Structure 1
Amino acid sequence: MQALAAVARAPQSEFSLETITIDGPKTGEVLVRVEAVGICHTDLAARDGALPVSLPAVFGHEGCGVVEAVGEGVTKVAPGDRVGITFASCGTCPACRGEFPSYCHNFMHLNYDGERTDGTGPLSANGESITGLFFGQSSFATYSLALERNVVKVPTDLPAEIVAPIGCGIQTGAGAVMRSLACRAGSSLLVAGAGSVGLAAVMAAAVRECANIIVVEPHASRRALALELGATHAVDPAAGPVAEQVRAIVAEGVDYAIDTSGIPAVIEGLVRSMTFHAKLGLIGVPANPEAALPLTVIEALVLGITVVGIIEGDSVPDEFIPELIELFRAGRFPIDKLVTTFPFTKINDAIAAQHRGEVLKPVLVHD
């Protein structure tokens, strides 16, 4: 079938709107009519060569829509079901069997290679192969071909723009607090960066009843929003060394810290702000793949710090996405305060607005 897609043809370039052909669905696959899709930094990083994805490609990995058709063997969903689409995992490797699908041993192949197990690709345009199946979906399009395992049935009465970003960014930030670090009630948490991932962590910390939720963020508007969403303190890094500002709030240092920036200098400020036997969660992807952790062996030994790399919030999507939806319904996780919608055809305008800092979480919606 044919679909309108935003195709990436060159790094650092705008997406082009093109008509593509989608094959399938084959065995184990699900064809989804996309209603909304979030724009994530990972989409742009992949376009620009930070991830091993061949161009031309269709990105997009925070889709929400209605099942149009299913392939042989699919029983999890049926045509007409509303689904959120998340990352792909195999379901059979030791990590998947241990309920850690974001560390699937086949993660790279399933999410970046754009190939089915038989070596074929599902997308093309005028006979030219287009890389698809990005994060098992490539949802920057009117239709998305996903896998049974990475679709999650969701309620039909919620706006698609609320469901869509849960598939990656929201579950990553929330899962960092509620799953990866399992922040305890009454504890202190420091979050570097008040983008959509960092603010999802803030909202999750409020749900977990952390006593001190401190955000480090250079933009005043984002600091204000962090306080509105549950942060107890918002620190401007330009106002002085972060560790000094944090220890003026929590003298002994924080129990948990989360970095969403990927910047070693920012991470160093977090380390200096932590108490003994604290946990540091790393989410942000560094611009330099050779970037090293600013933590000496002696510091690690003396402080007893645990460093945790976090992918997709260590979540099991079939469990965690419904949990976040219920928290949203209860008014305890206001995802809507992060989202700004754009027509799908204005994808390049949405990216530009995000780059200028005018919006936190752009979500593309279809008519």
Structure 2
Amino acid sequence: MKINAAVTSGEGKPFEIKDIELQEPKANEVLIRVVASGVCHTDMVARDTGITPKPAVLGHEGSGIIEKVGTGVENFEEGDHVVMSYVHCGNCEQCLSGYPATCEFLTPMNFGGKAQDGTHRHYEGDDELSMFFGQSSFATYAIAHEQNIVKVPKDVDLSILGPLGCGIQTGAGTVLNNLKPEFGTSIVIFGAGGVGLSAVMAAKIVNCEHIIAVDLHDSRLETAKELGATHVINGNKSEDVVEKIKEITGGGSHYAIDTTGVSPVVKQALQGLRPRGELAIIGVGSDFEMNLMEDLMAEGKMIKGVIEGDAVPKVFIPKLIRYYQQGLFPFDKLIKHYDFDDINQAFEDSESGETIKPVLKIGKE
């Protein structure tokens, strides 16, 4: 079938809205009319680097309505409202142990450019286009495996739900599923973007005593305070972020989350912990240096990577929606909508920090 899709032709190339061909859903797949799709930092990395083959149709925070189901689909039907999330095999030791976000095949399945069965779904003429995260939701229609879609209530605005599939799930899940801070503990979140602010809201849900947001933008720090941060630190204005954290918390935080992937910031997060403190890394970064004795081992600290908030999407996303409906998780305050044609502007505004969470409005409910 003919669809419209945002195609990036090479590393760092802007998106072009094109008419392309999308194949029909195969066994255990569904055809989804995309209503909206969030813009995530991972989309930027995929656009600008070689982690996904080009040309490609990106987008991995899609929401929409099922229009057709393939053979073997049992738990979904036409008309269902769904959120699309990451792909996992469902059969490896990690998946079967309840940790699909660390699936042994996570990287090739989400970034390799092909559907779960190893074939392509998107074509421009005779040329294959890479698929992304098993969905490629920067398009008017998407094909997804039933394993990586989540049914959501029809009385909730679909145009805000897409980011639950990755960024918001990652921030909130790192707090609620992985760190699991106890009542009255302290947590510092480095980076007050969509992921970090989702972590702030989650920390408020579990009643952390100190919820400290660190960022370079005062506007984002103001939003952090509105969403539950008890303290904020502007890294550009504070001479010593680590000492400020220790002053606020009385010796260091119990937990920290880094969403930036910036090595000096990661080191601040680690050094701001109290003995036996835990640091979760969820930002994409590269090389990192520290003194093993002084920064880690001597005080029994822990540093670990967390993917997709250790979430099982089919279980976790409905929980986040219930929190939202109860007024406890107002993630809609992070979102600014853009027309599909303005996709490049949405990316630019996200990179500059002007918009916390851009969401492209692609179709109607």
Same fold (TM over 0.5): yes
Looking at structure 1, the residues matched to 119 and 95 of structure 2 have their Cα atoms a distance apart, in angstroms, of: 24
Q: 1:141 aligns with which of 119, 139, 142?
A: 139
Instruction: Give 1:120 deviation, angstroms.
Output: 2.0
1:294 match: secondary structure: coil
Partner of 2:337: 341
* Cα pair 1:243 1:272 within 8 Å, conserved: yes
Q: Which runs of 5+ in 1 are unaligned?
A: none
Partner of 1:33: 33
Match runs of 1:255-294 below 5 Å:
255-286=254-285, 289=286, 291-294=287-290
Can you list the C-alpha shifts for 1:54-82, whole angstroms capped at 9, x where unaligned? Answer: 10000000000001111111112111100
* Cα pair 2:271 2:295 within 8 Å, conserved: no
Partner of 1:20: 20
Can you list the C-alpha shifts for 1:137-184, whole angstroms capped at 9, x where unaligned? Answer: 000000011111000000111112321110000000000100111111
Can you list the C-alpha shifts for 1:178-207, whole angstroms capped at 9, x where unaligned? Answer: 011111111000010100000000000000
Instruction: Give 1:229 deviation, angstroms.
Output: 0.3
Can you list the C-alpha shifts for 1:258-314, whole angstroms capped at 9, x where unaligned? Answer: 00010110011111211011110001101xx3x125351453221111112010000
Structure 1 residues 348, 275: CA separation in 2 closer, same or farther (over 3 Å shift)? same
* Cα pair 1:267 1:294 within 8 Å, conserved: no
Partner of 1:81: 80
With normalisation by structure 2, the TM-score equals 0.97
Looking at structure 2, the residues matched to 225 and 116 of structure 1 have their Cα atoms a distance apart, in angstroms, of: 38
Partner of 2:318: 322
Instruction: Give 1:109 deviation, angstroms.
Output: 2.1
Partner of 2:49: 49
Partner of 1:10: 10
* Cα pair 2:86 2:166 within 8 Å, conserved: yes
Residue type at the aligned position of 1:284: G
* Cα pair 1:241 1:269 within 8 Å, conserved: no
Partner of 1:65: 64
Instruction: Give 1:245 deviation, angstroms.
Output: 0.9
Q: Which moved more, 1:86-95 or 1:109-118?
A: 109-118
Looking at structure 2, the residues matched to 126 and 144 of structure 1 have their Cα atoms a distance apart, in angstroms, of: 18
Structure 1 residues 9, 143: CA separation in 2 closer, same or farther (over 3 Å shift)? same
CA RMSD of aligned residues (A): 1.2
2:279 match: secondary structure: strand
Partner of 2:106: 107
Partner of 2:149: 151
Runs (4+) off by over 6 Å? none
Match runs of 1:141-290 below 5 Å:
141-238=139-236, 239-286=238-285, 289=286
2:161 match: secondary structure: helix
* Cα pair 1:161 1:339 within 8 Å, conserved: no
* Cα pair 1:267 1:293 within 8 Å, conserved: no
Structure 1 residues 293, 66: CA separation in 2 closer, same or farther (over 3 Å shift)? farther
2:255 match: secondary structure: strand
Q: Which moved more, 1:109-118 or 1:8-17?
A: 109-118
Partner of 1:354: 350
Structure 1 residues 162, 21: CA separation in 2 closer, same or farther (over 3 Å shift)? same
2:53 match: secondary structure: coil
Structure 1 residues 200, 70: CA separation in 2 closer, same or farther (over 3 Å shift)? same
Give the total of aligned pairs.
362
With normalisation by structure 1, the TM-score equals 0.96
Looking at structure 2, the residues matched to 74 and 295 of structure 1 have their Cα atoms a distance apart, in angstroms, of: 52
Looking at structure 2, the residues matched to 129 and 309 of structure 1 have their Cα atoms a distance apart, in angstroms, of: 34
Looking at structure 1, the residues matched to 293 and 30 of structure 2 have their Cα atoms a distance apart, in angstroms, of: 48
Looking at structure 1, the residues matched to 148 and 118 of structure 2 have their Cα atoms a distance apart, in angstroms, of: 19
Looking at structure 2, the residues matched to 275 and 50 of structure 1 have their Cα atoms a distance apart, in angstroms, of: 39
Structure 1 residues 41, 50: CA separation in 2 closer, same or farther (over 3 Å shift)? farther
* Cα pair 2:12 2:49 within 8 Å, conserved: no
* Cα pair 2:139 2:362 within 8 Å, conserved: no
Looking at structure 2, the residues matched to 81 and 337 of structure 1 have their Cα atoms a distance apart, in angstroms, of: 25
